[in-house]
Structure 1
């Protein structure tokens, strides 16, 4: 399905998430109203415990909202049962986490092709597709390297390739630069911009790293389970958004 100019990639209306019951009930999110467009890299920022990870978990269909409407990629998650939601995630959503979660016994290409294997692709075709994407992120010479032979930044590139290998329309990243030094972190964010930001795709990145704020098209600031501010950034504020990709860098 092709996104229209007016369709929001993510639309949240009155979203509340509570944990516990009775006296132990805690509201992690309170009455979130938010629309995010296609074709942008959105940064979700705020102090620890403010609800960022809970919010993206609801957007990605990993958690159900207690109340409110959650529409993602033109579909209502409220109306999806468990099995349909699992299939929706597998078909449409890619994940990049702070921990790379690479399998140590698999090469870079084999790690990157795992989502395709799960979807039933032939191994040779899946590895070939993963190799193309790894080459695009500057790891064409490291296809047969194992995770312990790669730097942290290179491992994160493999994780990005794995997240994108099945052409997801929503990419969700939870602290993707937290374990990296400043240079590697900026390289990774630049790669996410270059490879993942497309007209029919949405990208949401949770981060505490203010050093990468300039990569965002839109910054959503949260506090105490609420959205406090949404800032649309001017293009001139985004520095190095299209970096030179170097296989030996990061």
Structure 2
């Protein structure tokens, strides 16, 4: 298939009548309530709202980590709701990258070894995996720290390694859950800028859950949530009601 510079016509993620419940009867809790939402390719979308409003549940369903109770989710043209467990694991490994507040780096491995783990899991030759990881780490500004261990890196540098690890297999969807929460303002902005520069492409999508209003200006769209519902979708430069 010939690559094009224009974004595909379909949405990267489509939530259709999507609800998620936890517990049953008297203990039933509605985490998501009839979500209808389409997230585009080629943009960074921020999910914002108070704690417990359903943001992490929503991206967990989009990433195939949770199943919805009702409705369906279509990701990169594939209906995850109708996908078997084994196929979903393969789909996730091939197409989705994750960045979390906790860096989850392996302390006994160097930066480049941590970053190449997804490629080794996918069966890459070790030398080729190391070379690819070094390329991505250089792109995020850590080309001179390839052999450093996590304990020798600052929090911002460790997050960059985590970003490189998430991007090393060139995922078409990058999901980030509070990636700047443990960082100071300057480091947080640097991390968001890196994600924007490296991960946002015409045929890819980035979704970031954040409480950090300091990074709102990085969002091409801001989806504001409350009580398991989408309350507003804002364009670039707009701010959600506090």
TM-score for both structures, normalised by structure 1: 0.92
Residue 129 of structure 1, aligned match among 124, 128, 132: 132
1:207 matches 2:210: yes
Residue 220 of structure 1, aligned match among 220, 223, 226: 223
Q: How does 1:95-106 map onto structure 2 within 5 Å? A: 95-106=98-109
Q: How has the CA–CA distance of structure 1 residues 51 and 85 changed in structure 2, closer, same or farther, with 3 Å as cutoff? A: same
Counterpart CA distance in 2 for 1:78 and 1:56 is 14
1:187 to partner: Cα distance: 0.3
CA shift digits 1:90-142 (9 cap, x unpaired):
00000000000000000000000000000001111101100000001100000
Partner of 1:21: 24
Q: How does 1:175-190 map onto structure 2 within 5 Å? A: 175-190=178-193
The DSSP-based 3-state class of the residue aligned with 2:137 is helix
Partner of 1:108: 111
Counterpart CA distance in 2 for 1:168 and 1:187 is 21
Partner of 1:93: 96
Partner of 1:164: 167
The DSSP-based 3-state class of the residue aligned with 2:159 is helix
1:151 to partner: Cα distance: 0.3
1:79 to partner: Cα distance: 1.0
Partner of 1:241: none
Partner of 2:147: 144
Unpaired segments of 5 or more residues in structure 2? none
Partner of 1:57: 60
1:75 to partner: Cα distance: 0.4
Counterpart CA distance in 2 for 1:65 and 1:230 is 22
1:4 to partner: Cα distance: 5.1
CA shift digits 1:26-83 (9 cap, x unpaired):
1100000000110000000000000000000000000000000100000000110100
Partner of 1:38: 41
1:232 to partner: Cα distance: 1.1
Counterpart CA distance in 1 for 2:115 and 2:9 is 33
The CA RMSD measured in Å over matched residues stands at: 1.1
Unpaired segments of 5 or more residues in structure 1? 238-250
Counterpart CA distance in 1 for 2:96 and 2:64 is 9
1:6 to partner: Cα distance: 2.0
TM-score for both structures, normalised by structure 2: 0.95
Residue 73 of structure 1, aligned match among 62, 70, 76: 76
Partner of 1:155: 158
